[in-house]
């Protein structure tokens, strides 16, 4: 395995300046541009490195502050990204203080959380930044001592010369700040890492365990009113009129207003960005002195609604999606050879359809945002994954200059893609602009779950041609509500492994808002494909593992540059999973399901162990192999890996969400089941040890989990799960589901 030996030219990577208070300030590009459903730039050279989006400050006392511009949604980048800088800067991690940056479009760019891309794209820039800053400090020390910089050594922020004299970083920051930025700094060899690869705790841990204000929900200002928003109860409905008499009579209710005109005007006039989920309907807002009084006031509003567009139901979506799969209105995303010929010539054709429902995000912190719109400025505070888009849309909404906006990001009580969409920010801004007061919009859980931006319902139909015992054709058709997911990634496995291969997509445009949900392209696709591979192996009467390894063998040496996954790395995680999970050697009464998957640039294999307890299949353990290259923070990495798996199992098993006349079928946790502790299996993780550049972990272990469970359930019960959630497929369970739920 080769060590990373990237040589940088300066290329405007960094900018330094002296601080008025003394010390050194370094600007650099912390590129984390990938939104969950926007493709990362294909050509990194196109990035403008004149843009700075993060800063390091080294004070005269040696303290290092890293301003983290990107939102923290629980993925841990607020800890792991500064670790990379600290490693190359050669300072003690205990001396590093991380501070959340505010939205600053002048100095920062691409302040986004999403797509598991922060570490992957930040890796080179962060190391380069830390190493360059270190070199400048060393050069300053060398100048002071009148020696060559190469004679000096550094350990934990202390520079030593051959005579045994020392200078701390703080001693030389002022001199370093006026030096030329050096080119071609040398990066550390991975074997010399002292921070990367070691366990570091969440930088906010002390605040979390003592209940300090951290989240948008916790933010308040003097004179602030709490705002509860009554939105249309069904998708397709719009506000006709309302009576606020009862609401206004309630204690604590200050005002009741209608909003929506600004959003409607924006919808009709402008091409709004993809993060803008704007409803054309009017909404009723109750402003009160407390959250509870606002909620109570909202309940007391008597509103009438009209059906502006047809109200849709799950049954209707089901028919539409089936119609699309049976029809011809597809867009072909990738086509190799001729699948139709392969099917015509095949000895056997296998075709299966897999289905998944809509899913709400269910961030534990419901949507909320603070806004204070005055003639002078617009102050916005809260949890949003796309602050820049939110600020731009608010500026357009209010007809203001974006320079008037000061937006602060708070730590987020989960994101999962929901906070990529800025609807709650625009509402807060429109409310504050209307009442001319500081307000905080707070959604109840019911508001949050029933007026969401959902993972769309999708169906996959996969068809394979088998000829002379070989897979000769593979066609995947996707029918989705609103947005095609696979459409964006047609070059994942098994693309490249089958001579005749085709991906076709189609969608139905619904009035239900849909969008990215943790691992948006693959959270359901992985289960469908990996179930199909198992069925294919059974049909071909070949070993499931061998079939996967053989298909990957065919991809080795491919000249197809579209192929993103590495067949070698995929084979390695498969072999390791076989070894570590005791595949094929499980004790009697344990049934295993296998999955190998690539997404978000990370290779993963998972084996689920199912045992029958009291006549019921129970997921007891998942063995997980992850190849994400160098692991920055194993402690954080394992948390993401385990969480992704348990979250993936929970949603595959229980996530059930539909619509009846435009209304969601669930609006709180009494009707919507999330996975809980008793359903969390033991997770045994093995990280592949190599020195390849790191890739992300916020999403990649979630998609395979459902597939591993489905394949294990097949082994345990002889029944195949064709539909999520599995709990609703009664044939999979030996007793009635009511007993399981009980």
Footprint on this chain of other proteins (rule: CB under 8 A): 73-76, 199, 201-202, 204-206, 208-215, 217-218, 220, 226, 251-252, 289-293, 295, 362-366, 411-416, 444-446, 635-636, 639-640, 642-647, 650, 668-670, 674-678, 680, 682-683
Give the orientation angle of helix 387-398 with respect to helix 261-269, to 10 degrees. 100
Please tell me the distance from the alpha carbon of residue 708 to that of residue 731, in angstroms, as a whole number: 18
Nearer to other proteins, 28 or 424 (CB): 424
Nearer to other proteins, 146 or 211 (CB): 211
At residue 620, φ and ψ (nearest 5 deg) are: -95, -35
Residue 683 Cβ vs other proteins, minimum distance, rounded to whole Å: 6
The residues near 254 (Cβ < 8 Å, ≥ 6 apart) are 225, 287, 288, 289
Q: Which residues contact 436 (CB under 8 A, 6 or more apart)?
A: 373, 374
Nearer to other proteins, 312 or 647 (CB): 647
Q: Which are the contacts of 612, defined by CB distance < 8 A and separation ≥ 6?
A: 589, 591, 618, 716, 734
Q: Which is nearer to other proteins, 158 or 637 (CB)?
A: 637
Q: Among candidates 721, 578, 734, which has minimal Cα distance to 652?
A: 721
SS3 332: strand
Q: State which residue, 153 or 668, has the beta carbon closest to other proteins.
A: 668
DSSP state letters, 411-431: B-S--TTGGGS-HHHHHHHHH
Least distance in angstroms from the C-beta of 432 to other proteins: 18
Residue (462 or 645) nearer to other proteins, CB? 645
Residue identified by tokens 């997404």 is: 599
Residue of 435, 429, 352, 362 whose CA lies nearest to 398:
429
Q: Output the CA torsion sign for 292, 294, 300, 306.
A: negative
Task: Give the residue among 318, 344, 390 at the shortest CA–CA distance from 658.
Answer: 318
CB of 249 to other proteins, least distance (A): 13
For other proteins, the closer CB: 496 or 644: 644
Look-up: residue for tokens 């002078």?
A: 376
The CA-atom distances, in angstroms, between 604 and each of 35, 629, 630, 687, 704 are 22, 11, 14, 10, 8
Residue 207 or 302 with smaller CB distance to other proteins: 207
CB of residue 696 to other proteins, shortest distance in Å: 14
The residue among 167 and 301 lying less far from other proteins, judged by its C-beta, is 301
- Dump the DSSP string for 170-238: HHHHHHHHTSPPPSSPPPPPGGG-SSTTS----TTHHHHHTT-S-BGGG---TTPEEEEEE--SSTTEE
Quote helix, strand, coil % in the chain, to nearest 5: 35, 25, 40
Question: CA of 134: how far to CAs of 165, 189, 651, in Å?
Answer: 18, 15, 46
> Closest separation between CB of residue 70 and other proteins, Å?
15
Is 331 or 364 the residue whose CB approaches other proteins more closely? 364
For other proteins, give the closer residue by CB, 544 or 673: 673
Minimal distance, residue 253 CB to other proteins, in Å: 11
Of 353 and 623, which has the nearer Cβ to other proteins? 623
Nearest-Å Rg of the Cα atoms of the chain is 27
CB of 258 to other proteins, least distance (A): 25
CB 592 within 8 A of CB 607: yes
Identify the three-state secondary structure at position 248: helix
Closer residue to other proteins, CB minimum distance, 311 or 635: 635
To which residue do tokens 């689920």 refer? 608
Residue (216 or 567) nearer to other proteins, CB: 216
Tokens of 232: 């249309």
Type and span of the H or E element at 70: none
Dmax (CA) of the chain: 84
- Least separation, in Å, of the C-beta of 211 and other proteins? 2
Question: Which among 227, 229, 347, 324 has a CA at the least distance from the CA of 281?
Answer: 229
The tokens describing 262, both together, are: 């600004």
Place of tokens 């505070």: 381
DSSP letters, 96-151, are: EEEEEPPP-TTT-------TT-HHHHHHHHHHHHHHHHHHHHHHHHHHHHTS-GGG
> In angstroms, what is the minimal distance from the CB of 603 to other proteins?
22
Q: Give strand ranges (E) for 648-721.
A: 659-660, 663-664, 682-687
Nearer to other proteins (CB atom), residue 413 or residue 490: 413
Using the minimum distance from each CB to other proteins, give the nearer residue, 174 or 446: 446
Q: Please, are residues 140 and 149 in contact by the beta-carbon 8 Å criterion?
A: no
- The residue among 536 and 649 lying less far from other proteins, judged by its C-beta, is 649
Q: How far is the CB of 427 from other proteins (least distance, A)?
A: 18
Yes or no: say if 646 and 639 are a contact pair by the CB < 8 Å rule.
Answer: no
Q: Do residues 542 and 619 lie in contact, with contact meaning Cβ atoms separated by under 8 Å?
A: no
DSSP at 615:
T
Nearest distance from C-beta of residue 622 to other proteins, angstroms: 10
Min separation Cβ 647 and other proteins, Å: 4
DSSP sequence for 471-501: EEEEEEEEEEES--SGGG-TTSTTTTTSSEE
374, two tokens: 């005055």
């Amino acid at each position: 395995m080769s060590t990373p030996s990237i040589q940088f030219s300066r290329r405007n990577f960094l900018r330094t300046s002296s601080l008025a208070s003394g010390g050194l300030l370094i600007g650099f590009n912390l590129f984390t541009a990938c939104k969950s459903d926007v493709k990362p730039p294909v050509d990194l050279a196109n990035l403008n490195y004149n843009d700075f989006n993060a800063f390091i400050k080294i004070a005269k006392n040696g303290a290092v502050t890293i301003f983290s511009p990107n939102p923290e949604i629980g993925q841990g980048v607020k800890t792991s990204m500064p670790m990379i800088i600290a490693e190359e800067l050669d300072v003690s991690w205990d001396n590093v203080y991380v501070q959340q940056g505010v939205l600053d479009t002048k100095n920062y760019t691409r302040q986004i959380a999403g797509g598991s891309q922060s570490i992957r794209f930040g890796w080179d820039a962060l190391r380069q930044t830390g190493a360059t800053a270190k070199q400048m400090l060393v050069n300053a020390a060398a100048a002071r001592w009148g020696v060559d910089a190469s004679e000096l050594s550094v350990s934990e922020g202390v520079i030593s010369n051959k005579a045994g004299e020392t200078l701390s970083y703080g001693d030389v920051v002022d001199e370093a700040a006026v030096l030329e930025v050096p080119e071609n700094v040398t990066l550390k060899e991975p074997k010399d890492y002292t921070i990367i690869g070691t366990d570091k705790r969440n930088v906010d841990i002390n605040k979390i365990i003592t209940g300090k204000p951290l989240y948008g929900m916790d933010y308040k200002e003097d004179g602030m009113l709490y705002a509860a928003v009554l939105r249309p109860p069904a998708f397709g409905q719009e506000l006709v009129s309302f009576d606020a008499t009862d609401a206004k009579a309630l204690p604590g209710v200050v005002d009741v207003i209608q909003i929506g005109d600004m959003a409607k005007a924006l919808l009709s006039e402008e091409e709004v960005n993809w993060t803008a989920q704007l409803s054309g309907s009017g909404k009723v807002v109750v402003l009160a002195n407390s959250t509870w009084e606002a909620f109570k006031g909202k309940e007391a509003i008597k509103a009438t609604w009209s059906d502006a567009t047809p109200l849709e139901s799950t049954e209707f979506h089901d028919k539409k999606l089936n119609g699309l799969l049976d029809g011809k209105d597809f867009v072909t995303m990738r086509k190799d050879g001729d699948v139709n010929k392969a099917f015509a010539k095949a000895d056997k054709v296998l075709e299966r359809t897999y289905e998944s429902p809509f899913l709400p995000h269910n961030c534990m912190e419901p949507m909320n945002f603070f806004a204070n719109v005055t003639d002078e400025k617009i102050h916005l505070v809260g949890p949003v994954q796309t602050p820049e888009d939110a600020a731009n849309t608010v500026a357009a909404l209010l007809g203001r200059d974006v320079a008037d906006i000061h937006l602060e990001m708070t730590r987020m009580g989960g994101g999962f893609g929901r906070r990529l969409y800025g609807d709650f920010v625009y509402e807060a801004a429109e409310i504050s602009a209307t009442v001319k007061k500081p307000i905080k919009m707070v959604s109840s859980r019911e508001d949050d779950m029933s007026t969401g931006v959902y993972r769309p319902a999708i169906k996959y139909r996969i068809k394979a041609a088998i000829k002379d015992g070989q897979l000769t054709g593979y066609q995947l058709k996707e029918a989705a509500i609103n947005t095609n997911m696979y459409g964006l990634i047609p070059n994942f496995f098994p693309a490249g492994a089958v001579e005749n291969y085709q991906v076709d997509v189609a969608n139905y445009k619904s009035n239900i808002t849909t969008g990215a949900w943790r691992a948006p392209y693959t959270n359901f696709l992985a289960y469908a494909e990996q179930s199909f591979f198992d069925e294919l192996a059974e049909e071909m009467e070949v070993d499931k593992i061998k079939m996967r390894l053989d298909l990957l063998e065919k991809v080795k040496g491919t000249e197809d540059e579209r192929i993103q996954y590495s067949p070698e790395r995929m084979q390695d995680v498969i072999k390791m999973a076989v070894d570590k999970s005791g595949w094929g050697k499980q004790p009697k009464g344990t049934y295993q399901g296998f999955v190998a998957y690539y997404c978000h640039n990370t290779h993963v294999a998972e084996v689920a162990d199912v045992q029958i307890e009291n006549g019921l299949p129970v997921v007891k353990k998942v063995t997980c192999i992850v190849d994400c290259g160098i692991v920055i923070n194993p402690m954080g990495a394992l948390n993401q890996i385990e969480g992704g798996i348990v979250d993936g199992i929970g949603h595959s098993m229980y996530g059930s969400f539909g619509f009846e006349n435009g209304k969601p079928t669930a609006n709180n946790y009494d009707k919507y089941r999330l996975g809980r502790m008793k359903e969390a299996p033991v997770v045994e993780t093995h990280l592949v040890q190599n020195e390849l550049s790191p890739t992300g972990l916020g999403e990649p272990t979630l998609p395979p989990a459902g597939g591993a469970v489905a394949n294990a359930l097949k082994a345990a019960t002889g029944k195949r799960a064709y539909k999520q959630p599995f709990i609703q497929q009664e044939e999979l369970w030996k007793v009635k589901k009511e007993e399981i739920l009980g």
